[in-house]
Amino acid sequence: MTHHCVLLTAALLTACVHLSVAGIFAQRLRCTFQTFVYEDERIRVHRCEFAPQSWWQMSHHCKDLPENRPSPIGIELSVCQNKSEQLKPIELGGGWSENRKFVVWNNGHSIQADAVDGADLTVTGGHLRGTYNCIQFHFHWGSEANMEKGIGSEHRLVDAAGKEVPTPLEVHIVCKRRELNVKQAVSTPDAIAVLGGFIQPMKPADNETSADYAISELLANMTGLLIPVKRGPHSGRQLRDEDASTVQLQLRGLLPDNLQRFVNYDGAFTTPGCNPFTSAFFDKAKTRPMVNNFRPVMSRHGREIRCSFGSS
C-alpha cells in the first residue's frame, strides 16, 4: 500500500459540532431537517442543504477565522518547523496490528468504520498529552476523474520544492482520550485527535492472508457502500442492519511503516455536525453518487506546522 505522508491533527474541539445554533437557524427557515453538502450550490431553504461556503450558518465555528483553527489546510513542507526535539515518536498499542472488528456504514457523507472495541487501539507521542484510543476511521476522496489527477484528499501536501503531491484519497483515524467517553471528550479541550494519512486507491491484494488484504478489499468496494446516499429523518446510528457491514482488518495497514516522520498542527473537524458525536439526518428519497467529499482548504492564519524531521 502506498502512503505519501502521515500527519497528526490534535485538539479538534473548536469544531463544527454545536447543533443548537444549527437547530435555531433551521427552525427560523422552517426546515424539516438540515444537513450539509460538498457541492458549490446555494442554500435550498426547504431542504436546508448548506454548501461549504455556507457551513458557518450551521455553526459559527465553521467560519474561516483564526480562533476556530479551521481545517483542512495546505501542508507546505517548506514552512514546516523542525520540532523533532519536542515531538515524541508516535507509538501505537498492540491492537493496531491485530485483526479487529469494525462496523462499516454509509453516514451520508463518507464511508465510516466504527471500532467494535477500540480500548487497546491506543496512540501516544507526537504532540499528544496522554493516551488516546481509536473509535472510528473514515475517508475523503474525489470523483473518478479528479482522483486520476491526484485530487481527492482534504489536506493539500506541497513538498519542500513547492510541488504539490498527488493525494487522491485521505484517511482520518479519530481517537479520543482513553479515560473519557465520547461525550466527555467532545466537550474537553484537546481530548480528540486525528491520525491522518494520504493513501492510493488499490485493487484487492492477491494474498488473502496479507495484512493489507482486508483494507485493499474495503477500498476497492467503496463505491458499492456509498451509493446511494441515504438521507431522511433517521439518525445514522439507526441504520438498518442491511445498511451496514462488519469487516475484520488490521488498522495499522492504513498508516505508513515509518511513524517517525509526521506533521502536526492544531486544527478542527472538517465537517459540520457529521461525526460520531452528533446525529446526521438523511433523506431516503434522494440518491446521488458520493464523490468529492472534501472541504476546500482553509486559511492557515499563521498557525505553526510542526515537523518531526528536518528539511533534508
Q: What is the separation of C-alpha 148 from the centre of its chain, rounded to a whole number of angstroms?
A: 21
| Interatomic CA distance for residues 307 and 35, integer angstroms | 36
* 109 given a catalytic annotation: yes
Catalytic residue, chosen from 18, 60, 61, 109, is: 109
Residue 159 is given by DSSP the state -
Beta pairing, strands 156-158 & 74-76: parallel
Torsion of CA 172, 178, 179, 183, to 10 degrees: 20
Residue 121 is given by DSSP the state -
Q: Which residues contact 257 (CB under 8 A, 6 or more apart)?
A: none
User: What backbone phi and psi angles, to 5 degrees, belong to 159?
Assistant: -70, 175
Say which residue the cell 469544531 belongs to: 15
At 230, list the grid cell.
441515504
Residues annotated as catalytic (active site), given as ranges: 109
